[in-house]
Amino acid sequence: MNPVRTPGEIALHKLYIITGEPSGDLHAAAVVRALRPMAPAIEIRGMGGDAMAAEGVELVEHVRNTAIMGFAEVLGKLRFIRRLMDRVKADILAFAPDRILVVDYPGFNLRMAAWARQKGYPVDMYIAPQVWAWKQHRIHQMARDLDRLYVILPFEPPHYRQVDLQVEYVGHPLADVIPSPVGQDETLHAAWRQKTGLPSDAPLLALLPGSRPQEIQRMLPILDSVSRRFPELVPVVAGAPGRSSSDYATTLPVVFGETSTLYRAATAGIITSGTATLEAALHGLPQVVAYKTSGLTYRLAKWYTNVRFISLVNLVLDEEAVPERIQGQCTPDILEETMRHVLSEQGMYRQRNHQENLRKVLSKKGAAEAVARGLLGR
């Protein structure tokens, strides 16, 4: 069941926010930005990245050190994670917040929520774990430890009907901030190419090997190899937030802080699965989704998950709107063949139609504002 909130504004003078990945940092920063006019005197601390810091949040740890993905990869950093959890707990006790907001990063954040609940702190969560894919039993833990849950995918709320937890679909935050690609300004694209040192008129191939160090190390050589099979396209690697040039072992151009413009300026892209696939589609970029992880992580994921797709675009539309090439299919030969189909007239037309449908499904303005109001009990 999803109960209705009891009216009455919450006194919120101190807020603690916890997130551990670049995407969560951006979404949390948007909530802070929406919250400031509603509660100008609020103090905010937490764990996040550059976007949260830019909004005046004091950070106890940066996401560049906490973005870890995969069973095998997490095992290698267990000692760091335990120490980090102890530091964050101590920081919360010293700060004494009125409420805690955990954003995504469920492996860490649900443990923190359980601890916080025991200590008497109210906890809200923005961006839910993928209980529709695996570990559905977590909904009972979430109902026990969370006050409210704000979800961003339209098919999520029904998964919580059996528990006593207030769940609100606020819409996807990317649909709020990414304008329709219709009527792009080519003059701006030309200026951007000049600023970044890219050719003025050659078509571009966007390469996104992920944001985590393990993803970049594994995926970049594959994407590099594929890109060299398309001499008519200029490959451009999108540098992830929190990463530096030293993280990218390639001679290809790596552009930081310009990913949104790259989506719009490029002809097509090869994108490692994640939020980037959804972001690219909303920007109007035809794409191939490519992903490869360690053998152990892949086998465990196949064993425990129950989803047809890994791309958010395909999950939301419930069909393979963008081609996915995963693990054994994530090879230069197969990716080349797939990309040639995407670049065809038929392939381009098909993805454009799916992109229009995606925007219609996700369109619900004001996700960050809805979360901010929820934190204040409005």
- Regarding whether 146 and 22 lie in a shared domain, the answer is yes
- Regarding whether 143 and 94 lie in a shared domain, the answer is yes
- Regarding whether 289 and 207 lie in a shared domain, the answer is yes
Find the DSSP H helices in the chain: 22-38, 50-54, 71-75, 78-95, 106-119, 138-145, 173-177, 186-196, 213-227, 259-265, 275-283, 295-304, 312-317, 332-342, 345-362, 367-375
Q: Would you tell me how many other CB atoms lie within 10 Å of the CB of residue 7?
A: 7
- Regarding whether 336 and 197 lie in a shared domain, the answer is yes
Q: Buried b / exposed e across 217-248, counting CB within 10 Å, b at 16+?
A: ebbbebbbebbeebeebbbbbbbbbbbeeebb
- pLDDT (mean) for 66-87: 71
pTM of the model: 0.77
pLDDT score of 75: 55
Confidence of residue 65 (pLDDT cuts 50, 70, 90): confident
- Regarding whether 339 and 203 lie in a shared domain, the answer is yes
- Regarding whether 157 and 72 lie in a shared domain, the answer is yes
Structural domain boundaries, residue 66 = 14-169
Cα–Cα dist 330/313, whole Å: 18
* pLDDT tens digit sequence for 167-226: 999 999 999 989 888 756 667 788 899 999 999 889 999 999 998 888 999 999 999 999
Cα–Cα dist 101/126, whole Å: 7
Mean residue pLDDT of the chain comes to 90
Q: Buried b / exposed e across 191-211, counting CB within 10 Å, b at 16+?
A: ebbeeeebeeeeebbbbbbbb
pLDDT score of 5: 44
Pairing of strands 268-272, 204-208: parallel
Let me know how long the chain is.
378
Confidence of residue 279 (pLDDT cuts 50, 70, 90): very high
Confidence of residue 233 (pLDDT cuts 50, 70, 90): very high
Cα–Cα dist 298/43, whole Å: 41
Residue type, 205: L
Examine the pLDDT at 323 and tell me if it is beyond 50: yes
- Residue 132 domain-assigned (yes or no): yes
Sheet holding 324-326, edge to edge: 254-256, 234-239, 204-208, 268-272, 287-291, 324-326
- Regarding whether 137 and 209 lie in a shared domain, the answer is no
**Torsion from C-alpha of 235, 241, 246, 247, nearest 10 degrees:** -80
- pLDDT (mean) for 24-28: 94
Q: What is the DSSP string of 181-206?
A: -TT--HHHHHHHHHHHT--SSS-EEE
pLDDT score of 7: 47
pLDDT score of 6: 46
- Regarding whether 333 and 245 lie in a shared domain, the answer is yes
Residue type, 70: G
- Regarding whether 29 and 137 lie in a shared domain, the answer is yes
Instruction: Report residue 278: phi and psi, to 5°.
Output: -70, -45
269 in Cβ contact with 204 (< 8 Å): no
- Residue 368 domain-assigned (yes or no): no
- What burial class does residue 126 get, using C-beta atoms within 10 Å of its C-beta: 0-12 exposed, 13-18 middle, 19+ buried? buried
- Residue 200 domain-assigned (yes or no): yes
pLDDT score of 47: 96
* pLDDT tens digit sequence for 109-163: 999 999 999 999 999 999 999 888 778 889 999 999 999 999 999 989 999 999 9
Which structure tokens are listed for 167?
């769940």
